[in-house]
Every structure is written in C-alpha cells, then in structure tokens.
Amino acid sequence: MSGQRQGRRAYDSTGRRAQAEATRLRILDTARRLFVEHGYAGTSMAQIAAAAGVSVPTVFSAYRSKVNVLRTAAETTIVGDADQVPLHERPAMRHVHDGATAAEVLDRLADLNAATAERAYPIFAVVNAAADAEPEIAELVRVIDGQRLAGATMLARTVVDRLGDDDPARFTEIRDSIWALNSLAMYGLLVAERGWPLDRYREWVRRALHAVVLP
C-alpha cells in the first residue's frame, strides 16, 4: 500500500452548468410557444412547467416570475439567441454597419429588418397585447423601443458618415426614419394584417429607406 495519500479529484461543475442552461433554454422555448399560442394571460407557470417537463419551482428558480419569462422570451427572440452579446456587436448588425456606401448599409438593413421581424413579431404581438394590463410589461415595451432608438442612432451615424453629411437636422430625420421603419409594428400592419409576402415587405422597407435617406 502506498504511503502517499491520493488527493481528492477536483469537482467539475461544467456538466451540471450545461444541464441547467439546457433546462433554462427548454423552458424558454416552451414558454415562447405557449405565449404565442395562448397569449400571456392564457399561459400559466404551471402550464409552462408541464410542457417543458420540469417542476413549477424549477421555472421560478430559472426566471423568478412569468413577466420575466416573457421579457427574456421577447429579448432573445429579437436578437436570435440567448447569448449575452449586445445586438450592435453581433455579426449580422456589424455586417450592416460595414456597408461600403449608404445605399449598401440601407439594403443590408432592410434584409436584417425582414429576417428579424418574421422571427420576432409573434412574441412582440403578445408583449404589446399584455402591456395594457401589466405595468411591468408596458415598461418592457418602452425599454425595447428605447433600445431600437439607440440602434437607429448608431445606424444613422453610419449612414451620414457614408454620405459625408454633417447636418444635424438630416441626422435626426434619418435616425427617426430608421427607428420607425424598423418597428415590428410596421411588419404587423403590412404582413400580419394586410397579408404582404415577406419579400414584398423587405423591398418596401428598402425603397422607403432609400427614398427618405438618400439625396
């Protein structure tokens, strides 16, 4: 028998963390589907837990409240995943900003707008519908709009840089036009309500951006 005592094997929590994250994502995907199918008021934490195959305390442990589940579902759907990376730092948005000309920036923005809207509008409609009855959700709507305005501000700076236009009034007009045309509400009006095909909507956004922005 060796006289040396073997040290304890270090505990590796990687697997446990990965399992917990997988559970969180499963809960989130399930909640997003149920919210879209049944609305915010028509979806309970118990329904989310049952459909995700977990306990109700597990759902509360992961997200603390139903409002927070909806908030996370909306925010992650808009950016496309649950990674903690700001939208303006993501490859898709950086691709927009990297356009060589103002027209190219706007064309890429129209493409990204259509792809994002198709993915995010269903949960956005749930958030908007619940905002009247839930002050916390109404605040979420204000936060999302504020984030869109911040993004439009950065895009407008890129556009005026490509144009070589330093007129503050033009900057404001470009920023506000991008903010309005990037709205998921616009997609809802034209695609969800009027039945426009996605390609027609994308082209309309592109032409509208060109008409407002380009000299």
Would you mind telling me the total number of residues written for the chain in this entry?
Answer: 215
Write out pLDDT tens, residues 17-70: 888 889 999 999 999 999 999 999 999 999 999 999 999 999 999 999 999 999
Look at residue 3 and tell me if it is in a domain: no
In which domain, by residue range, is 70 found? 66-213
The alpha carbon of 3 is separated from its chain's Cα centroid by a whole number of angstroms, namely: 60
pLDDT of 134: 87
Kindly give the residue spans of alpha helices, DSSP state H, lying in the chain. 14-38, 45-52, 56-63, 66-79, 91-97, 102-131, 135-163, 168-181, 184-187, 198-213
21 and 81 in a common domain: no
Residue 9 is predicted with a pLDDT of 60
The pLDDT score that the predictor gives to residue 17 is: 84
Q: What are the per-10-residue average pLDDT scores of the chain (215 residues)?
A: 54 75 94 96 96 96 94 87 74 95 98 95 95 90 92 96 95 96 95 97 98 90
Model pLDDT, residue 14: 75
C-alpha angle 154-158-164 in degrees, rounded to nearest 5: 135
C-beta atoms surrounding 120 within 10 Å: 21
Flag whether 6 is in a domain.
no
SS3 54: coil
Give me the pLDDT at residue 36, please: 97
For residues 40 and 86, state if they share a domain.
no
The tokens for 32 are 């997003």
> CA Rg, the chain, in Å?
22
Q: Kindly state whether residues 89 and 159 are assigned to the same domain.
A: yes
